[in-house]
Structure 1
């Protein structure tokens, strides 16, 4: 599955990724609270890298031009 992130509204990217992470981690039987805590432990770039660390096998994050690096 691919998720396209709207780079024009970066204020909602973090919130959206946290919601995806919560849903996915619960569905996959992962430690949701620790994953969300880790994602929130830094800036937006850290949040994206952490999301990719846990979920890149299931979701590919895309910005308007290309795949977001992991």
Structure 2
């Protein structure tokens, strides 16, 4: 699955990724609270890298048809 992100508004990207992380972690039986806490422990780049660490196998983040946060 691919998710296209509009990088014009970092706040929206962060919130969207936290929501995706909640849904995915619950479906995969992961510790949702710990993952979201880790995602929020840095800046937007950290949030994206952390999301990719946990969910990159299932989700490809794209911006203008290019992979981001790898």
TM over 0.5, yes or no? Answer: yes
Instruction: Give the total of aligned pairs.
Output: 70
Deviation at 1:65, TM superposition (A): 4.0
TM-score (norm 2): 0.94
Q: What is the distance in 2 between the residues matched to 1:65 and 1:23?
A: 24
Correspondence for 2:13: 13
Q: Unpaired segments of 5 or more residues in structure 1?
A: none
CA RMSD between the two structures: 0.9
Q: Per-residue deviation at 1:64? A: 1.3
TM normalised by structure 1 equals 0.94
Secondary structure of 1:38's counterpart equals helix
Q: C-alpha distance in 2, partners of 1:6/1:49? A: 17
In the other structure, the counterpart of 1:67 is: 67
Could you tell me which residue of structure 1 aligns to residue 3 of structure 2? 3
Structure with the larger strand share? 2
